[in-house]
Copies of this chain bind each other. A is one copy, B any other.
């Protein structure tokens, strides 16, 4: 049973303004909530209908609240609410930026589409990529569309919002991992030497890479396009998440050991 005040408070978290203000976020649906319960996040409130059954995870800091279908509809951002909705605290991240020393890492520069960011986090989870560094103006991780598109990977992959020029500056002074950038007109991915320990930058969907980052780029990589016999030319570009998938697959094909 939810009070009007409860409903209003939970619903407010669908808006970034209130997420920032309260330091809380919402995860909806069985898959996301299941992944949320596997994290070390403390203080999780779960609002569920009688159709949802909690996984066999014993935690003292999880508060279960059974609600009616109608109440769930009222607090859900989905067109059709899906059995369960959780509210939890946004973990506070250290603002201290450390340049990575090994492994493949993604740097996302001004990604604006929530579905793209979510899909890229899911890709990072699939390919065993340690950390994603997002520019400060990349779409917010706790945007409901981002979380949904990650299919739970948001709670598994280390996603940090940092100043990318600052991170790249530290990298050039410290570990000095090679910095690759996805770019139309870059070198053919398949002809180019890659590295096991590297930073890979993906730029904004329509504007590409920020000029501020260009001085740090060791090599620009492009995915070759092909022409069908039945038509002239080809698409102008690939979707940025698809390009991320193709690039990560190729880095891992050369250097990774499959799980």
The interface residues of chain B lying within 8 Å CB-to-CB of A188 are 258
Q: Which of B126, B223, B241, B259 contacts A249 (CB 8 A)?
A: B223
The answer to the question of A208 belonging to the interface, with a C-beta cut-off of 8 Å to chain B, is no
Indicate the member of A125, A226, A233, A256 with the most B CB atoms within 10 Å: A226
The answer to the question of A236 belonging to the interface, with a C-beta cut-off of 8 Å to chain B, is yes
Q: Kindly state the separation between the CA atoms of A128 and B123 in the bound complex, as whole angstroms.
A: 24
Which residues of A are interface residues toward B (Cβ below 8 A)?
103, 115, 119, 122-123, 125-131, 149, 151-153, 156-158, 188, 190, 223-231, 233-239, 241-246, 249-250, 252-253, 256-259
B241–A123 touching, CB < 8 Å: no
The interface residues of chain B lying within 8 Å CB-to-CB of A151 are 235-237
Q: Which of B153, B190, B223, B236 contacts A235 (CB 8 A)?
A: B153
The interface residues of chain B lying within 8 Å CB-to-CB of A237 are 126, 151
10 smallest beta-carbon distances between A and B, as pairs: A128-B226, A125-B235, A242-B245, A224-B258, A128-B228, A227-B259, A126-B235, A246-B249, A226-B256, A128-B227
Q: How many Å from the CB of A5 to the closest CB on chain B?
A: 30
Q: How many Å from the CB of A257 to the closest CB on chain B?
A: 7
The interface residues of chain B lying within 8 Å CB-to-CB of A238 are 122-123, 126, 245
